[in-house]
Amino acid sequence: MFFGQCEINMVTIQLPDGSKQSHDSGATALAVAEGISPRLASAAIAADVDGKLTDITTPLSDGEHTVRIITSRDPEALEVLRHTAAHVMAQAVLRLYGNDTQYSIGPALMDDFQYGFYYDFDLPEGKSISADDLPKIEEEMAKIIDAKIPLQRVEMSPDDAKAEMKKIGQSYKIEMIDDMLKETPDAKLSFYRQGDFIDMCRGPHLPDTGKLGNAFKLMSVAGAYWRGDENNKMLTRIYGVAFFDKKDLAAHVERIEEAKKRDHRVLGRQLGLFLLDEKVGPGLPLWLPNGSIIRMELEGWLRGELLKRGYQPVHTPHIGKLDLWRTSGHYPYYEHGLFPTMNLAEGEGEDGYLLKPMNCPFHIQIYKSSQKSYRDLPVRLSEFGQVYRFEQSGELSGLTRVRGFTQDDAHIFCTPEQLEAEIESCVDLTKLCLATLGLDDYRVRIGLRDPDSAKYTGKSENWDLAENNIRRVVKKLDMNYTEEPGEAAFYGPKIDFVVKDCIGREWQLGTIQVDYNLPERFDLEYTAADNASHRPVMIHRAPLGSPERFIGILIEHFAGAFPLWLAPVQAAVLPVSDKFLNYAQGVVRALRNAGLRVDLDDSPDKIGAKIRRATVQKIPYMAVVGGREVESNTVAVRHRTAGDAGAMSVESFVEGLLAEKISRGSEPLHVAS
């Protein structure tokens, strides 16, 4: 009757099940949840509005929207929880250490094995936080949670935002606002206020601090440079983790404990595998005898697989003329990741030399050293090549981040027609490596160029070709993969294998890279069937990635208990007393003659102590010899985990071990008596 009534503003909602709701102007997603059920409304922590994650309390604009209510069961929810946890922690730190504490950044971490969030603080003069202070901060957080303080979103113009931050003396935030304005000058900035605490954040967050619950834990304190730059001030970073459920937190803490037990830096020392010595230099591991055996076995096996696949071995030096790296493009563009150039005295070399960061240019020169015809291709040159990269000292960690390491490298030079079959064969080899070591849980990531970045070399047509070659192969092999722009090498796109170890951590291991660009930069050629000169394509690939890193991960994966074929010592012979030493030496000889690695424990210790020692050293098999064994010409066999395997003849023991070694099994074989 009144036309005016038809113009009342309305919000129309479509829910995931297709049903619709109508609300008055200004309604929130919380009202939508209430319209479904009170239970859903109390479980609601955020909403997906038209595909965008938003606060449950943000008013919906007039018009039509699709709304999905997010509860703790949805995968997006954990990030909202952890974001809120970071804010609550910052509020607690300010309450305890004073309002002149500066806070810089505090993100949620979703892919980190250990941590779920952190916040960086610049504490007032004379104050500091150590691990001992964390329980006190947790207590203060619990008070904030109990108070169920609502989180309110506030939008401000950049000027108002800066004025607000100035008022509360938060200079890092002002710096961040200025940075943001450089990119988007007319940005509206969003802030979240919870009681007396305010923080600049995109959100969304939990509707109130009470929803954070009690499944959170502060885990450690570390120093962190502002913006990660060591010329800036060192801030105090507090790491924590948060879940919706106490059980999830307990499982997480248990996983971390398990990871500590498996730490390859600790096991590396205990088992005599490798050494990092400050006198040698950070990130330059020394391989001890036991670790060297693991490498020797792993590399020896891989060399055999390469020969079967038509690879040819080469060896190249550790340094080369700087100009070579100019041609490849590593220098000067990647100078920050290289060791400094070696400049020789005048007359001894017009240009400097460089420690090699990659093996490619040397292999390229080998390819170029003779005229190639299409009949010679593919040429597959392989080398366990030592390379050097100048990683930041703060980034170094055991064997997994080092400055000097080997690549199980090869470069394949082929015709464009051969390329996809060669990529496929590289995928096959990488899968074989992972399967052989029991690393069966992995995903595949395709690293593409970032179209907006200038760091890539070569023509865009070449990049299109290479990216499509890779896509066709992974599709043909029916592999699960994700594409990640910006993750390519500077000369070409790549396939990376991201492996999950037995406690759920992810590691990037094998890589396969397709490259049309270095053949151009180095002017590579072959004579095709048409007698004309053509350009080959290159593949750079490393199925393990690097033996250092790979073995570092294997140490943790196996918790130091390597399968028999890799174990530095495969069997320990343990005489019950001196009386049986002669017999024991005979057993040792029989095992050694069969090519097995054996230790004889001839110490005066009791047999129980000898067994314990061999177990701690994670030696797969023990052969105990005493009076009964000497009489029956047998050994009493124990496996380090499976326990007693009974008495058997020395010949059967040798045969059983050899069978397990050849199979490369990671589980003990049943040793026939």
Task: Give min distance, CB of 360 to Zn ion, in A.
Answer: 3
Tokens standing for 205?
A: 């967050």
Integer angstrom CA distances of residue 81 from 67, 107, 247, 257, 361: 20, 11, 16, 24, 49
For the CA atoms of 516, 518, 524, 529, what is the dihedral angle to 10 degrees? Answer: -10
Closer residue to Zn ion (CB): 192 or 653: 192
Binding flag, residue 360, Zn ion (CB under 5 A) = yes
> Interface with Zn ion by CB under 5 A: which range of 41-49, 80-88, 285-293, 520-528?
80-88
**CA–CA distances in Å: residue 341 to residues 284, 355, 356, 385, 620:** 18, 8, 10, 19, 47
Catalytic-role residue among 91, 102, 194, 407: 407
The span of 15-23, 90-98, 195-203, 500-508 binding Zn ion (CB under 5 A) equals: 195-203
Active site residue 252: no
DSSP assignment letter at 36:
H
- Considering only 211, 389, 403, 540, the residue that binds Zn ion (CB under 5 A) is 540
Q: Looking at beta carbons only, is 491 or 583 nearer to Zn ion?
A: 491
When asked if residue 211 is in the footprint of Zn ion (CB under 5 A), the reply is: no
Question: Catalytic annotation on 205?
Answer: no
Closest CA to 198 of 238, 170, 219: 170
Task: Name, in order, each residue with C-beta under 8 angstroms of 447's C-beta and a sequence gap of 6 or more.
Answer: 484, 486, 487, 488, 489, 493, 494, 495, 496
* Minimum distance, C-beta of residue 83 to Zn ion, in the bound complex (Å): 4
Which among 540, 610, 618, 638 is annotated as catalytic? 540
List all residues 6 or more positions away from 505 whose beta carbon is below 8 Å from its beta carbon. 113, 259
- Quick check: is 248 catalytic? no
Tell me if 488 sits within 8 A of 494, measured CB to CB: yes
Task: Answer yes or no whether residue 83 interacts with Zn ion by CB under 5 A.
Answer: yes
Considering the candidates 205, 252, 380, 411, report the single residue annotated as catalytic: 411
Q: Pick one of 93, 201, 238, 267: the residue that binds Zn ion (CB under 5 A).
A: 201
Token digits for 194? 């919870």
- 197/550 with CB nearer Zn ion: 197
* Segment lying near Zn ion (by CB under 5 A), choices 64-72, 79-87, 226-234, 458-466: 79-87
Peptide bond into 378 cis (omega under 30): yes
Please report how close the Cβ of residue 410 comes to Zn ion at its closest, in angstroms.
9
Catalytic residue among 82, 208, 211, 360: 360
Q: Based on the residue annotation, tell me whether 540 is a catalytic residue of this protein.
A: yes
Q: Are the beta carbons of 309 and 429 closer than 8 angstroms?
A: yes
Stretch that binds Zn ion, among 18-26, 111-119, 358-366, 642-650 (CB under 5 A): 358-366
Instruction: Candidates 90-98, 123-131, 194-202, 230-238: pick the segment binding Zn ion (CB under 5 A).
Output: 194-202
Assess whether 411 carries a catalytic annotation: yes
CB of residue 7 to Zn ion, shortest distance in Å: 38
- Taking the complex as a whole, how short is the minimal distance between the CB of residue 19 and Zn ion, in angstroms? 32
Which of the 8 DSSP states describes residue 186? T
Neighbours of 464 (CB within 10 A): 13
Residue 494 appears among annotated catalytic residues: yes
What are the CA-CA distances from residue 11 to residues 49, 57, 96, 606 (Å)? Answer: 12, 15, 44, 82
Distance separating alpha carbons of residues 52 and 226, to the nearest angstrom: 31
Please work out the total of residues on this chain that contact Zn ion, with binding judged by CB under 5 A. Answer: 4
Q: Catalytic site residues?
A: 360, 389, 407, 409, 411, 494, 540
User: Which residues form the interface with Zn ion (CB under 5 A)?
Assistant: 83, 201, 360, 540
